Structure 1
Amino acid sequence: MQMALTSRIALHGPPTSDPEDFFGSALGVIFPDDVTNQHGDADHSLLYTSPHLPRPLHIALADPHRENDRKLFSHYLWNASLLLAEFVEAGTLRIPLDLGLGRLGPSDFDATGLTCLEVGAGTALPSLMSALLGAKDVVVTDYPSDTVLSTLRKNVKVNAKPENSPSSILAPVTVEGHSWGELDTPFATANRNRFDRVFVCDCLWMPWQHANLHKSIAWFLKDASARAWVIAGFHTGRQKMSGFFEDEVLAEAGLELESIWERDCDGVEREWVWDRGQEDVSERKRWLVVGVLRRRTSSAIEG
């Protein structure tokens, strides 16, 4: 039976004394149908437990003191990262996972032997899973803020160890700063067309950044066989993020959709719909969109 997406996560640290934290942790009891879509705080690390890893991963969260850092919302672990980590695990270890509506099988999320880049990584959970399960090389990026990058480096140092891998083999993992669309930096110029897979988790809530994100994805994808795995929750509203997948704007960056569908926190899938009308806030928090992008084919360009 498919386990709930959030079942692998637990807070780790001292008991909370903040009334707001007490209320937040009680929401699942008060409203049993309500799904938590963001996890953790600066005072508590997270334990991510998988039956396929030798031990839990300890995920630290940034403590953003500056307002600009707080606006990045990288000081939480979001459900999109949980879902991609689960997909990577299933694909790389060949674990059965129903992806029927996406017209993809588990092997389509296989990271074995691939060069992987995560943008807007936050906690870098999908990248860590890739490095532990068989990727060739992993690069983790986020906005070049000292607060954000220091937390990413901490997560890599604590978790990217051979003893955390089922095979005891670990891919090299590096952390770099990258602002979407800024392609003239030493990191961007040195890594153009380098990556087999680009991970994008919950980065679509800023419509004004969609074009820059498209530019970065297209810049870093290696070739026609390379793919970008894009997953985002609907908690900020479908309208804000759906424009990212419009064919015309993807075409401007030389990209196209290979597949797109919706999946909830219990593994239920449904077709992608551009507009579902007025969506209940609690209900839409349960759902995520899964999109697979690739370089635009010549026929698509000509069409």
Structure 2
Amino acid sequence: MSLISRIALAGAEGTDPEDFLSQSLGVVFPDDVTNQHGDPDSWLVYTSPHLPRPLQLRLCQPGDDAERRLFSHFLWNSSLLLAELIERDSYLISEKGTAVEGDEAKSVGLFDVRGRRTVELGAGTALPSIMGGLLGAEEVLVTDYPAPPLIEALRTNVEKNVKVEMSPLGRVSLDVKVLGHEWGTFPEGDGVTVKRHAFDRVLICDCLWMPWQHGNLQRSVDFLLKQTAEARCWVVAGFHTGRAKMAGFFDEEALREEAGCEIEKIWEQDCDGKQRGWVKDQAEEDPGTRKRWLVVAVLKRTQRET
């Protein structure tokens, strides 16, 4: 099943799911791939056969050009993929014992959030965090740039969707918060500072398109991720802005020095689930092909010499 088949535009909040399924871009344009989803005047609806009810996601309305350039007023395919991976490993595999074969089996078990503390950077709509809150994460912190419209939209999404009646488990995370956070900065009293080295998992979706922010993003990973051998950072990003812009984030020396991490696993995956090896340097693909592919990486703490 195509990655984008779960997402559709709705009208006003509360639209009957049967009324908006026909608006799925994957249905209207089956040969095309949409990598960004949303309209500030509409809600997005995320459906899964494993959730009791569809999720309704509000998009922020940027207040000015600076906020608009953050591109947080869209839901990107990277968030769709990470949400599916969390659902697979935290519920389908762990709870239901569903068998997985082929390429997908290579990553089974990596994205289990049960009993873990998670933080998402550059959350946008917070879909992966919401999925974690519904599927057994102990603590969920949702962060993005501290622009009021964005933080307000994130809080709306969390409050609307992290509910017992939305979870297939019949329970949700009791500690779910939304905070503003500018990557690489940790002023006292901002709420994030007290969470230093507090999280088992750091989630990052489509935050690599700004090479000048890679260092700041890596420093936030280092600040928030636990200093344990079991701690992991999950990174998913699309190629739509070009491989060269994002590849620098995975530079081994920069990851080690700024994030205190190294790559455990990394691969590329398209919107239909096909996987291939990660290639840092290669000729750029055409825009249509680039929109189909994402990089998926699992980072672990670097073992420091004692």
Compute the TM-score of the two structures, normalised by the length of structure 2: 0.89
- Counterpart in the other structure of 2:159: 157
Structure 2: segments with no counterpart, 5+ residues: 13-22
Structure 1, residues 17-61: CA drift from partner, whole Å, max 9, x if none?
A: xxxxxxxx8987897532100001111101100111100000010
Q: Are 2:85 and 1:87 aligned?
A: yes
SS in 2 for 1:257: strand
Is the alpha carbon distance of 1:38 and 1:251 closer, same or farther for their aligned partners in structure 2, counting shifts above 3 Å?
Answer: same
Q: CA deviation at 1:68?
A: 1.0
SS in 2 for 1:157: helix
Separation of aligned partners in 2, 1:214 and 1:297: 17
Separation of aligned partners in 1, 2:118 and 2:289: 32
Q: CA deviation at 1:104?
A: 2.7
The runs of at least 4 aligned residues of structure 1 exceeding 2 Å deviation read: 25-34, 95-104, 183-189
- Counterpart in the other structure of 1:238: 243
Structure 1, residues 58-90: CA drift from partner, whole Å, max 9, x if none?
A: 001011131111011010000000000000000
- Counterpart in the other structure of 1:59: 57
Paired residues for 1:125-140 under 5 Å: 125-140=127-142
- The answer on whether the counterparts of 2:242 and 2:284 sit within 8 Å (CA) in structure 1 is no
- Counterpart in the other structure of 2:44: 46
Q: % of aligned pairs identical?
A: 54
Separation of aligned partners in 1, 2:102 and 2:150: 33
**What RMSD, in angstroms, separates the aligned Cα atoms of the two structures?**
2.0
Aligned residue-pair number: 287
Paired residues for 1:251-270 under 5 Å: 251-253=256-258, 254-270=260-276
Separation of aligned partners in 2, 1:29 and 1:54: 23
- The answer on whether the counterparts of 2:103 and 2:274 sit within 8 Å (CA) in structure 1 is no
- Counterpart in the other structure of 1:213: 217
SS in 2 for 1:210: helix
Paired residues for 1:84-123 under 5 Å: 84-93=82-91, 94=93, 95-97=98-100, 100=103, 103-105=106-108, 107-123=109-125
- The answer on whether the counterparts of 1:139 and 1:176 sit within 8 Å (CA) in structure 2 is yes
- The answer on whether the counterparts of 1:115 and 1:197 sit within 8 Å (CA) in structure 2 is yes
Separation of aligned partners in 2, 1:117 and 1:123: 14
Separation of aligned partners in 2, 1:97 and 1:53: 19
Separation of aligned partners in 2, 1:102 and 1:249: 30
Structure 1: segments with no counterpart, 5+ residues: 15-24
Compute the TM-score of the two structures, normalised by the length of structure 1: 0.90
